[in-house]
């Protein structure tokens, strides 16, 4: 089954009795490629998708959870301690938990809305609601998010590797180090024809994330044990409200933006009923949220008011293994599946990577990049899009409780997005003036 950068293939909707796990497994493995019927729970029966699977790409619920966690956690985790510094430890923790819960709710709306369209993808839902223009807008939001993520990851690469490249002498500059990595590693990865080419690296990336979580927690506990709590009590901020929370929220939204990837993962599950997919989303968001809380809280407790936009900039240069681990996480880019590598495709990809590289040199602050992208594309993808899709596609009156909830989610995404962009931009201008 083809998988195109988070966009699933077309499918036809009809009703059919659900198959048991054993029957589904038998159906899939009878031939190399065979039609599999996939159920979506509904009050009146089982909605099912009609898709085709390669037997090598039919995953269990555990495998789907693993893949979703790997989709969620990325470079955004490095900016979460700064987010808690901006909003305070208690308020920040509550906000992070709330964003996680809203993320689960918006995923639920996406899955519910997908019952009423043929094209099971984020773009397909947008097309069903807004026609060609809606599909283009959804793709544009997804592109903005991925482009912003790539820019942020290049900033992280520079932050991580620059301390270890002093041996370059006159060439020991961010522009040179990041330029080499972008040319030699990032561009070839972006030119890969199949996402499956990176399948075996996902386990290593997740292991690096686990290592990062334990490292940040250990260093924080070690620091408190050596210096005591007196400094922490003096500098610790428990609650900061407006406008500071509007710097924190978009970073958290960025960290939880994975919604376009739900449908490809869903379509590769064995017997993916709605209840099983909800369980996968719940488990993946729970695991990711716990990792985010640990890094955010312990990272902030370690450096308090000195916490930088990239938490690794606060650490000494002796944590080489951790820096390499983080680089392996951010280099987990997702290539497109394309029929062939053409000159046009190479040129467009090279231009995107080059523009991202230039922005990472001009704006070397991931908290700003992740904040702006989270407040714009992230908010539209996570909150506004799912809310609008459900309101427009699900049957029933607009005054029904479910549709009112969807409308509130969509409106909150828009309002908080606009305010966050203004706050972040004003703060950045003030810093430039000062």
What is the pLDDT at residue 10?
Answer: 31
Helix (H, G, I), strand (E, B) or coil at 192: coil
Domain 61-433 has CATH 1.20.1740.10: yes
* Strand ranges (E), 184-330: none
- Report the mean per-residue pLDDT for the chain: 79
Judged against a pLDDT cut of 90, whether residue 295 lies above it is answered with yes
pTM over 0.85: no
| Best mean pLDDT range from 197-201, 225-229, 255-259 | 255-259
Domain ranges for the chain: 1-55, 61-433
What is the pLDDT at residue 22?
Answer: 39
Q: Residues near 285 by Cβ (< 8 Å), separated by ≥ 6?
A: 72, 100, 103, 104, 107, 256
What is the pLDDT at residue 41?
Answer: 43
Q: Looking at 155-169, 272-286, 367-381, which range is the least confident one? A: 155-169
Q: Which strands sit side by side in the sheet containing 33-42, from one edge to the other?
A: 13-15, 45-54, 33-42
Judged against a pLDDT cut of 90, whether residue 374 lies above it is answered with yes
Judged against a pLDDT cut of 70, whether residue 405 lies above it is answered with yes
Greater model confidence, 17 or 222: 222
Judged against a pLDDT cut of 70, whether residue 361 lies above it is answered with yes
Of 403, 148, 162, nearest in space to 253 by CA: 148
Of 92, 85, 88, nearest in space to 239 by CA: 88
- What percent of the chain has pLDDT above 70? 76
Rounded CA separation 152/186 (Å): 13
Return the structure tokens found at 155.
Answer: 């900033």
Return the structure tokens found at 188.
Answer: 């070839």
What is the pLDDT at residue 330?
Answer: 57
Greater model confidence, 117 or 272: 117
Of 215, 212, 213, 216, nearest in space to 300 by CA: 216
The answer to whether the beta carbons of residues 160 and 307 sit under 8 Å apart is no
The answer to whether the beta carbons of residues 139 and 312 sit under 8 Å apart is no
Q: Looking at 43-52, 127-136, 375-384, which range is the least confident one? A: 43-52
pLDDT one-digit tens code per residue, 173-203: 888 989 998 898 888 877 766 555 455 556 6
pLDDT one-digit tens code per residue, 3-53: 333 333 333 332 333 344 433 333 332 333 333 344 444 444 444 444 444
């Amino acid at each position: 089954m083809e998988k195109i950068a988070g966009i699933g293939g077309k499918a036809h909707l009809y009703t059919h009795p659900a198959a048991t796990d054993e029957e589904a497994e038998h159906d899939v493995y009878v031939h190399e490629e065979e039609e599999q019927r996939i159920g979506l729970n509904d009050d009146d029966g089982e909605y099912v998708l009609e898709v085709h699977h390669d037997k090598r790409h039919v995953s269990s619920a555990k495998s789907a959870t693993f893949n979703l966690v790997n989709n969620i956690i990325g470079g955004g985790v490095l900016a979460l301690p700064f987010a808690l510094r901006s909003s305070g430890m208690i308020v920040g923790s509550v906000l992070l938990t709330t964003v996680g819960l809203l993320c689960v709710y918006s995923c639920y709306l996406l899955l519910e809305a997908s019952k009423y369209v043929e094209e099971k993808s984020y773009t397909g839902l947008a097309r069903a609601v807004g026609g060609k223009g809606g599909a283009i807008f959804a793709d544009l939001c997804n592109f903005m998010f991925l482009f912003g993520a790539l820019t942020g990851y290049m900033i992280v690469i520079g932050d991580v590797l620059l301390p270890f490249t002093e041996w370059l002498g006159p060439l020991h500059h961010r522009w040179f180090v990041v330029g080499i990595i972008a040319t030699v590693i990032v561009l070839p990865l972006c030119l890969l024809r199949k996402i499956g080419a990176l399948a075996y690296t996902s386990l290593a990336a997740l292991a690096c994330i686990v290592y990062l979580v334990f490292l940040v927690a250990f260093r924080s506990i070690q620091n408190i044990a050596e210096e005591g709590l007196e400094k922490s009590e003096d500098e610790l901020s428990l609650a900061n409200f407006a406008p500071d929370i509007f710097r924190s929220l978009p970073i958290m939204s960025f960290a939880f933006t994975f919604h376009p990837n739900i449908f490809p993962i869903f379509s590769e599950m064995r017997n993916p009923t709605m209840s099983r997919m909800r369980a996968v989303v719940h488990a993946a968001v729970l695991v990711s949220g716990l990792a985010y809380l640990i890094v955010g809280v312990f990272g902030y407790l370690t450096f308090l008011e000195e916490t930088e936009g990239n938490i690794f900039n606060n650490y000494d240069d002796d944590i080489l293994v951790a820096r390499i681990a983080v680089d392996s996480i951010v280099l987990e880019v997702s290539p497109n599946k394309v029929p062939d590598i053409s000159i046009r495709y190479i040129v467009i990809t090279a231009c995107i990577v080059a523009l991202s590289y230039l922005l990472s040199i001009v704006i070397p602050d991931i908290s700003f990049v992740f904040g702006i992208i989270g407040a714009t594309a992230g908010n539209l993808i996570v909150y506004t899009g799912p809310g609008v899709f459900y309101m427009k596609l699900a049957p029933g009156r607009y005054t029904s409780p479910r549709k009112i909830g969807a409308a509130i989610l969509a409106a909150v995404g828009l309002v908080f997005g606009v305010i966050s962009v203004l706050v972040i931009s004003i703060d950045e201008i003030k810093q430039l003036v000062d």
